[in-house]
Amino acid sequence: MILFVVNDAGPAKYLSYIAQSLKNEKYKCIVSDISKKVFSNININCLDSIDNFDTKDIDIIVTGTCLNDGIDKEAVRIGKKEGIKTISIIEHWSLYKKRFELNGQYMYPDMIFVNDNKAKEEAEGDGLPGDKLHIVGNPVLENMTRNDYTNNVELEWRDSFGFGKRRKIITFISENFKDDFQENSPEFQGFDEFDVLNDIFEALNDESILIVKLHPAENRNKYDFLTKNSNIFVVGDTDINKLIEFSDILIGMGSMLLMEASIIKNTVYSYRPNEKIEFIGNKNGMVKKIHNKMELKEQLSNYEIENFSVTNNIFSGSTRNIVNLIQKSL
């Protein structure tokens, strides 16, 4: 039996595609409160605690990875203690080694799945053991496709927020940079989400609507100070596909959601003032880069929508690759 264990929402989305693709293998899931909804949306029931679970029928443990302490790290520890094979996935291109730190020590699973050659190269450079790294692709990016929403669907979506069909929608993809990459830490990025939001405010005109999309780990009250502005909407749990399709512009810092959106939309940008570490989405050309305040104002005012085709998606076949490797490991 396969045991999936995942703490964060991003890895949960990745592993949900794998779970759905397993036809003959039995599996169980243990998830955190943050990632539970990803699996419940596809009717997969999960346990919500890793404490005292029975390992006797478990042949392999497949986990996500997270930057802070989480149940996926604890699952790897248990797997190694019980002699169960362990696999961890890294769905992003960042902070590779930190994902395996637990109580001041580094603990690696038997196999680590990464997205591409660049991820493998960076992971090795960050200190991960090369013999454990396997390039498999990314099932989330593989499965990004456009939806043929009707005009009525878009109007209903706009009406749910209370703004008209002609107003430009700019969506900011928030992340918890201020807490996760603190100013005095080696991981400090050179900016945080409040720096970026402030510059976006200054660049907006009165005709635009700003939607702030919270990261699943962010507190809903974080942006309460924005609610006095009738042109700003803060959303947490929402239909991501509609948000991507109906936003005129999406802008963020280093979220995987930017890379997902860039597969089906060309008005996707990252803005990272005074950045110390370049975003992979800019490195590989998937996400357009805004360099400064002047360029930010220009891009938020002038943009062009192009039709996109995902027929040449470089991540095609990712799900099959991952399922095959897991099955061979059983």
Closest Cα to residue 47, out of 69, 27, 70, 77? 27
Q: Are residues 60 and 174 in the same domain?
A: no
8-state DSSP, 47: B
Residue 227 main-chain phi, psi, to 5 deg: -70, -15
Report angle CA 25, 29, 30 to the nearest 5 degrees. Answer: 155
> What does the pLDDT look like over 184-240, one tens digit per residue?
988 899 999 999 999 999 999 888 899 999 999 899 899 998 878 888 999 998 999
d(CA 235, CA 174): 10
Q: What is the CATH number of the domain that holds 119?
A: 3.40.50.2000
Q: Are residues 225 and 126 in the same domain?
A: no
> Among the listed ranges 50-54, 155-159, 171-175, 254-258, which one has the minimum average pLDDT value?
50-54
- Using CA atoms, how far residue 81 sits from 16, 72, 197, in Å, is 26, 14, 45
Q: What is the pLDDT of residues 6-18, one digit of tens each?
A: 999 999 999 999 9
Q: How far apart are the first and last CA of the chain?
A: 8
For 61, the domain range is: 2-142+315-329
Tally of structural domains, the chain: 2
Could you count the other beta carbons within 10 Å of the beta carbon of residue 184?
A: 5
Which range is least confidently modeled, 72-86, 101-115, 205-219, 291-305? 291-305
pTM for the complete prediction?
Answer: 0.89
Lowest mean pLDDT among 36-45, 245-254, 273-282: 36-45
Residue 97 shares a structural domain with residue 174: no
Give the number of other CB atoms < 10 A from CB of residue 265.
19
